[in-house]
């Protein structure tokens, strides 16, 4: 199966930002979607706006740090649509801070969401992909996986882990599966600086408002990786605003 039309695609972190834009983009191209996030109201609004335009989407309250929630996400794809073609692991938190602030709950959340959350998705989808003899992982990292900038040490470390896990998975995936890393730069979403201290949040949102690209730029990069013919693996995409150093 190549292209996007008819594919069954699960997306984590689909209640806002890049995940929402990706859901809307893929629905317009005829994908059948299973969308997960924690904020039920926001998620339902995304599902409703897609279905109102004739698209196909189901929403599920999912916390990616919980193994069972990812199992439920993949089970829902199978029970509703009979298969799962792509898992987009996009859920993330950008509550960055200087180490001296000792915001250890935020450090834990980034590790749990980006690393454990990604592994929970792999654990849930890999057996399905193996049984089908096809499937694609699309993992959302960040340009922070390539260059660390203060005060993003913990965030960058977890996104570097996403990059490393993705490459390890790609090497083991064999000829039937596809594994793609998508690393966005500054993107105009509500998540930039969310949960960070007031000074850091103000600096990040100021930079976002000055240079960020729209989330649909990342959505179309993800779509490009998905729409390639079987046997063609777009392994890595870095997409950033031209103004980003
Ligand atoms: N914006 C940027 O500049 C930028 C740059 C590079 C990479 N990224 C990455 O892009 C991804 C999306 O971020 P965004 O910019 O679109 O920000 P966003 O609008 O805040 O989106 C983050 C999404 O992740 C979900 N989420 C967070 N924790 C979760 C959890 N434990 N379980 C399930 N869902 C969870 C949120 O939904 P709920 O709160 O409803 O669960 C939300 O839907 C993240 O991985 C982020 O690190 C963003």
Q: What CATH number does the domain containing 204 carry?
A: 3.40.50.720
Residue 64's contacts (CB-CB under 8 Å, 6 or more residues apart) are: 12, 13, 36, 70, 89, 91, 113, 116, 117, 118, 120, 121
The verdict on residue 2 lying in a domain is no
Distance CA 68, CA 121 (A): 10
Structure tokens at 132: 């089908």
The verdict on residue 58 lying in a domain is yes
The verdict on residue 82 lying in a domain is yes
> Which residues are catalytic, by number?
155
Which mutation among 10, 12, 18, 213 tests ligand 1's pocket best, with the greatest number of atoms within 8 A of CB?
18
Which residue's alpha carbon is nearest to atom 32 within ligand 1?
A: 63
The verdict on residue 14 lying in a domain is yes
pLDDT tens digits along 173-228: 999 999 999 999 999 999 999 999 999 999 999 999 999 999 999 999 999 999 99
Mean pLDDT of the 122-147 span: 98
Q: According to the model, what pLDDT value does residue 158 have? A: 98
Q: How many domains does the chain have?
A: 1
The verdict on residue 208 lying in a domain is yes
The verdict on residue 27 lying in a domain is yes
Query: Which band of pLDDT confidence, cut at 50, 70 and 90, is reported for residue 2?
Result: low
Q: According to the model, what pLDDT value does residue 245 have? A: 87
Mean pLDDT of the 2-25 span: 97
The verdict on residue 52 lying in a domain is yes
Closest CA relative to residue 174, chosen from 135, 212, 202: 135
Which residue's alpha carbon is nearest to atom 17 within ligand 1?
A: 191
- Asked whether the predicted pLDDT for residue 13 surpasses 90, the reply is yes
Residue 208's contacts (CB-CB under 8 Å, 6 or more residues apart) are: 186, 187, 188, 192, 193
67 lines ligand 1 (CB under 6 A): no
The verdict on residue 144 lying in a domain is yes
Sign of the alpha-carbon dihedral angle for 101, 193, 238, 172: positive
Query: Which band of pLDDT confidence, cut at 50, 70 and 90, is reported for residue 1?
Result: low
Atom of ligand 1 nearest to the CA of 63: 32
Mean pLDDT of the 143-148 span: 98
Q: According to the model, what pLDDT value does residue 226 have? A: 98
Asked if 191 and 218 touch (Cβ cutoff 8 Å), the reply is no
Residue 67, domain extent: 8-237
Mean pLDDT of the 66-71 span: 98
Q: According to the model, what pLDDT value does residue 244 have? A: 95
Q: In what order do the strands lie in the sheet with 56-61?
A: 56-61, 32-37, 8-12, 86-89, 135-140, 177-184, 236-239
To the question of pTM greater than 0.95 for the whole model, the response is: yes
Mean pLDDT of the 141-149 span: 98
Asked if 223 and 5 touch (Cβ cutoff 8 Å), the reply is no
Which residue's alpha carbon is nearest to atom 36 within ligand 1?
A: 13
Q: From the CA atom positions of the chain, what is the Rg in Å? A: 17
pLDDT tens digits along 79-100: 999 999 999 999 999 999 999 9
């Amino acid at each position: 199966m190549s292209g996007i039309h008819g594919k069954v695609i699960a997306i984590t972190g689909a209640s806002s930002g890049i995940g929402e834009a990706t859901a809307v983009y893929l629905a317009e191209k005829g994908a059948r979607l299973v969308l997960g996030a924690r904020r039920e109201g926001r998620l339902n609004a995304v599902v409703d706006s897609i279905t109102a335009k004739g698209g196909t989407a189901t929403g599920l309250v999912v916390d990616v740090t919980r193994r069972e929630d990812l199992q439920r996400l993949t089970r829902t794809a199978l029970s509703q649509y009979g298969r799962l073609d792509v898992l987009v692991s996009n859920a993330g938190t950008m509550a960055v801070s200087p180490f001296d602030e000792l915001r250890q709950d935020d450090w834990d959340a980034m590790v749990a969401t980006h690393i454990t959350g990604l592994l929970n998705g792999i654990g849930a989808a890999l057996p399905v992909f193996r049984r089908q003899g096809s499937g694609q992982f699309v993992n959302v990292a960040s340009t922070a996986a390539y260059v660390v900038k203060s005060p993003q040490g913990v965030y960058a470390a977890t996104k570097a882990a996403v990059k490393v896990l993705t490459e390890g998975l790609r090497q083991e995936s064999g000829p039937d599966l596809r594994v793609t890393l998508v690393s966005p730069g500054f993107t105009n979403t509500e998540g930039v600086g969310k949960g960070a201290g007031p000074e850091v949040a103000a600096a990040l949102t100021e930079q976002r408002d000055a240079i960020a690209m729209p989330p649909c730029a990342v959505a179309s990069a993800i779509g490009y990786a998905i729409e390639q013919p079987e046997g063609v693996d777009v392994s890595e995409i870095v997409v950033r605003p031209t103004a980003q150093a």
